């Protein structure tokens, strides 16, 4: 069973639709054919959701009412569009050769950025753009929207800005990218109250891109390495072990490895053994939104409910 708290999730703890991508693809690999309903249910069953989330339903929805099943369905749809799953005329799904390769490379760490970077998905997106040739604006009308649906609307907006943010990171100046990553960790509180943060020189950095002194004398240091990779270029075990070696040469025992892509399972295993904290593209953009680095808060909205105690005798 997968611990639901370790997955990307909404504010109420419910895994987001893209958290299901690797799970759905993994389930599809377990037998030759699944119906859509079987595959979605199998994916949900792999997560140890508490009953409150497992049984959560939309208050008004013309389609699938169960929120978890609905989100697994969105993941299934994207996997099919990207060519990782194939569906027959009888609505039975099977994993494709490409799907098996992507599953082997990414496993449960598969992200929407990787899926959306695949040729078939890009082809689909370009086809939609040609048909519409205009921006589709999502509007919340005066219909009876539940809080869950409103949250999903905001999650969708957040996903869009994260995609834009990741694209900017991938295409920005490498040295500025390093500076921005050091700035992010500083804002997150890594440098302490009186510490310092700095980016190493462009040449001869010895595999270290940034250093954070957590105290004024620099007795406690955090070393940083960053990789501005496209989604399909994963960080593998040798890069983690090489970074760990660079840290040990400086008589330190901790580091943060940041990438705009993702990590192989071998890289994750090595990082756990070598005391290296990993930050992939999804986590990175989420942290940048959370700490307002590289983004500006445009508008905030509040929802309200009556304080019944204020009116009681």
Supply 25's token pair.
Answer: 């693809």
Q: For position 132, what pLDDT does the model report?
A: 57
Report the alpha-carbon distance of residue 136 to residue 128 in Å, rounded: 11
Residue 78: CB atoms within 10 A of its CB come to 22
Q: For position 133, what pLDDT does the model report?
A: 54
Q: For position 59, what pLDDT does the model report?
A: 65
Report the alpha-carbon distance of residue 30 to residue 39 in Å, rounded: 10
Q: Any idea of the CA torsion for 158, 164, 169, 172, to the nearest 10 degrees?
A: -150
Please give the C-alpha separations between residue 81 and each of 17, 75, 92, 123, 175, in angstroms, as whole numbers: 15, 10, 15, 9, 36
> Mean pLDDT, 10 residues at a time, over the chain (313 residues)?
85 86 95 90 94 82 75 91 86 92 91 89 79 50 59 75 86 89 89 73 72 76 90 89 93 90 90 93 90 85 76 75
């Amino acid at each position: 069973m997968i611990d639901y708290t370790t997955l990307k999730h909404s504010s109420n703890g419910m895994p987001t639709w893209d958290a299901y991508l690797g799970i759905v693809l993994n389930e599809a690999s377990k037998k030759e054919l699944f119906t859509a309903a079987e595959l979605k249910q199998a994916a949900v069953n792999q997560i140890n959701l508490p009953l409150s989330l497992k049984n959560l339903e939309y208050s008004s929805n013309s389609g699938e009412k169960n929120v978890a099943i609905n989100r697994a369905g969105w993941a299934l749809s994207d996997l099919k569009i990207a060519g990782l799953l194939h569906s027959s005329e009888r609505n039975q799904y099977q994993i494709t050769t490409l799907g098996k390769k992507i599953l082997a490379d990414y496993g449960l760490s598969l992200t929407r950025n990787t899926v959306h970077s695949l040729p078939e998905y890009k082809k689909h997106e370009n086809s939609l753009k040609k048909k519409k040739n205009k921006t589709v604006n999502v509007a919340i009308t005066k219909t009876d929207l539940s809080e869950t649906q409103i949250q999903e609307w905001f999650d969708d907006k957040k996903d869009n800005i994260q995609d834009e943010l990741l694209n900017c990171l991938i295409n920005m100046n490498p040295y500025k990218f390093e500076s921005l990553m050091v700035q992010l960790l500083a804002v997150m509180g890594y440098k302490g109250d009186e510490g310092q943060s700095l980016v190493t020189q462009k040449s001869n950095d010895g595999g270290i891109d940034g250093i954070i002194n957590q105290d004024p004398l620099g007795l406690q240091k955090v070393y940083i390495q960053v990789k501005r990779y496209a989604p399909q270029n994963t960080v593998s075990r040798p890069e983690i072990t090489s970074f760990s070696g660079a840290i040990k040469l400086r008589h330190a025992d901790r580091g943060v490895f940041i990438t705009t892509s993702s990590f192989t399972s071998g890289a994750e295993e090595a990082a756990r053994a070598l005391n290296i904290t990993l930050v992939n593209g999804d986590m990175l953009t989420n942290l940048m939104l959370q700490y307002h680095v590289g983004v500006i808060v445009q508008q905030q909205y509040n929802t309200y409910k009556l304080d019944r105690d204020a009116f009681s005798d």
